[in-house]
Amino acid sequence: MDLICAANGQNFPSRKYFFTSPNGYQKKGRPRTRWSDAISRDARTIGIPNWRTTAKNREVWKAAIDKAELITKNDKYF
C-alpha cells in the first residue's frame, strides 16, 4: 500500500479508494445459508456425496428423495 500512495501523493485514485470509508454496511454474524449448501448438507446426511450428479439420474434421485422423506418423518429433530 505504501507503493500505491508513493506513486502520486495528491490525487491518486487508489489512495482515495483505500482511505475513504465505505457507504454501505456489512451484516454481522454468519452468512446466510445458501440453498445449494443446504441441499449438499442434507444429501451427505443420507449418504449421497455429490448430489448434482445423482440428480441427473431420475430413478436414483427419486430413491434418494424417498429415503430422505423416511428419515425426516422418523426423526423428530429434522
In a domain, 61, yes or no: yes
In a domain, 25, yes or no: no
In a domain, 13, yes or no: no
In a domain, 28, yes or no: no
In a domain, 55, yes or no: yes
φ/ψ (deg, to 5) at 30: -75, 140
pLDDT at 2: 42
pLDDT at 47: 87
- Per-position pLDDT tens, the chain of length 78: 444 444 555 555 555 555 555 666 777 888 888 888 888 888 888 889 998 999 999 999 999 988 888 887 776 655
Q: How many domains is the chain built from?
A: 1
What is the rounded distance in angstroms from the CA atom of residue 73 to the CA atom of residue 78? 8
Long-range contacts of the stretch 29-34 (C-beta < 8 A, 24+): none
What is the rounded distance in angstroms from the CA atom of residue 71 to the CA atom of residue 6? 62
Domain with 54 in it = 34-77
Which residue type sits at 10?
Answer: Q
In a domain, 62, yes or no: yes
What is the rounded distance in angstroms from the CA atom of residue 7 to the CA atom of residue 28? 35
pLDDT at 62: 93
pLDDT at 57: 92
In a domain, 4, yes or no: no
pLDDT at 41: 87
